[in-house]
Structure 1
């Protein structure tokens, strides 16, 4: 039972941002400090776990690409079970819970179980990562829009629901999360759909961490450069004319 003897606790989905503790919101930090239980993954700013109160239960529910993974159904169950003891439960995630994450699934599972649930949005890696690398997603006179898509499957995969044809024909910036493993398929698929092979492109690796680095090239060369530089997740891909501005972010 939690300290205030609640019979039913709550679940708070906290967006941890792209990895730098300084990018955690004040509301997110407050929720973390007051939590009885924290379920965290490897993309959250783990240094912030030092801010949890004495006696708080910390549970690693990370999903390491091609490594140890906690099934989403198991995460949902843990959230519900801990909240039913009266605990204040924080699901501490990287990025933002509702941007290419499973936050909405966790929300729905808790709501269906009768558990109060709320979200504290985080800074999205899709926007912050490029900014920290000196890449604006829009720039007046160059690019007036951007799209954020999931690259967990390639353009020609049966499970893909992204309109890659439209992306290739748009004049906007393309930001791809979870696309490292399928980068050759993605770049080849975009070029086959009409995207200029010479368009500037970049990979921002481990954005907002001390190990951040940027690999720059073109749509045609990016997959080869990724292999040459042994790029591993977490990383995001940015494609568009704005990548060529090179404004001198932290690299």
Structure 2
């Protein structure tokens, strides 16, 4: 019995050490990026290379906003994030309708929504572009925002979660005289907080990293996002590695922080929505 416990303990210690070693190994490129963003140009290319900067500087970050228009790119990205959150409520309403309302063509429409999840986004970009071009919305912020307001995967998750909400609870609210919008915002949204939380996180990550669609629909650099700006930075300043590291860090760090703080909501949301 003692030998089994000893073996199990050694096994746990070994697994822990392997996980720590793997975590450190995976973290090295990320740490190198962060520390290199604070290095002057001569230190980034120094041989032998050093991890920590000897003369830390914020010059690279200052250049991003003074010479590279990253302030404009940040503003555009935040606008996209804001409207993506508004679209999140539209997706929630659609999921609620599919879960709790009975209307003609409900099942075919829902299966059509699911079918769009199987189509790569690149396939639909040309038709969407042509539609927006006919509406005169190319090279506008509205053209960048509108296609992202609805997401089939988001509607599916909301529908899966809201199907578990007791219908009797909704009927009781209707008998009390509550309207449909009041039921949704005062009853359904508080109950569905876990799935709204996970969808908010995924929505933020998707909007923050938006790259291909803004690059296609916008020809004016004043409409570009941070991801597009980072791509331009890599092309225009290919030899300035400190500046590139600063741009990459500015893009990645918010995502890492949000995922670190809210990863439990992501797991909880997928679990409660029925996905394994």
Asked whether the two chains share a fold, i.e. TM above 0.5, the reply is: no
Q: Which structure is higher in helix share?
A: 2
Q: Which structure is higher in strand share?
A: 1
The TM-score, its normalising length taken from structure 1, stands at: 0.26
The TM-score, its normalising length taken from structure 2, stands at: 0.25
Report which of the two structures shows the higher radius of gyration computed on alpha carbons. Answer: 2
> Which has the higher relative contact order, 1 or 2, with Cα contacts under 8 A spaced 6 or more apart?
2
